[in-house]
Structures are given as C-alpha cells and as structure tokens.
Structure 1
C-alpha cells in the first residue's frame, strides 16, 4: 500500500512539473513575441506566426532537456537546428525592413 501511495505521489509530482514547464514556456514565448512586436512593428497576422514559432522552440527545448536518452552535444545540436528553423519561419513572413531589424535584434541578443 505504501509503495502504491508513493508511486501515485511521484506521478502527481511529474505531471505538475510538466504543466509548470508548459506554462513557463508560454509565458516566455509571450514575452519574446511582445518584444518582437514592438521592435518590428508586426501586423496581427505576423504576431500569430511569430508567437507560434517561438513557442514551438521553447516546447522543443523543454523536450530536449527532459530527454535522457541523448547526449548533451546532441541536445545542443538539435537546439541549434530548432533555432535555425525558428529564425527561418520568422524571416519568411517579414518585410525587408523588418528583416533588417530582426537580424539586428538577433545579433544584440547573441551578444548578451
């Protein structure tokens, strides 16, 4: 009985952590999306696409952190690939002027 209780408690803890990470990802994505909306003067259609791309990247990052079957180097490589995909999705919907500002924003964030 004690083992069953502890197993149930462990499962509940794991589920709680999963939801907390998901909420954290959504909050981070919302903040980045808001920042980019202000910096790039995005239209409402662009805002949705940008938010989706950023959120997808954060969800992928969480999944990579949780995956214990791959090495740290492989995780870093997959994260870089995901970041490249995110940048490509965002650039695809931007105007040429917005692309220049986006690239400057990315460079500034890399320097930090």
Structure 2
C-alpha cells in the first residue's frame, strides 16, 4: 500500500501541532527530515589532498610519524593479504589504500576520527 507523501506529511504536521501546542507550526521540511530521515554521514572531502599539502613538520605533528614511514606502511598494506579490492561494481567506489592508511594513522595518533576533527572547525 503506497501512501501519498504529502498526505502523510500533512497528517504528521497536524499531530505535531496538537502535541506541541505552540503558536508556530513546524515547517514541512523539518517534519520531513524527522520522518523520512536517512543516515547521511558527513564526509570529509579532500582529506588526502590536505594531508599532501602538509609540511614535514605538520605531518609529524598530526600523525606522529614521518611521511616516508607512512608511505612505507601504505605500500606494505597495499601488497599484503589484508587489503583486497572489491570484485563487484555496484555502490560507492572503494576507498583508495592511501586514504585508508592515512585515516588509520590519524586515528591512531589522535584517538579521534577525522570526521569529528573537521566537524569542530
């Protein structure tokens, strides 16, 4: 049974207005975002490009290792049996091995996720 989205939103809007009992009514966009919520996770764009622009001192400060150690670890991980490429073609593109390693090193050095760090700025 398919329900018309606008009818559903109007019904929910009426219920919300009755429950909240305020003079201002919620907008359709607010209600729609609550009812039809999708798990949209903020993505950090350009992480590797930002890291590649770090000086040697900035890299060491943020990752607690030298850049050439990071490059060595990335190469070892890419050639190991732990790193596998996807065989199917659907969905998002696979995260590049360099991005995976830098994200892990960032977490290991800072005990926080990159997403949390960029959200605070």
Q: TM-score, normalised by structure 1?
A: 0.28
User: Greater share of helix residues, 1 or 2?
Assistant: 1
Indicate the structure whose relative CO is greater, using CA pairs within 8 Å and at least 6 residues apart.
1
Q: TM-score, normalised by structure 2?
A: 0.27
Larger Rg: 2
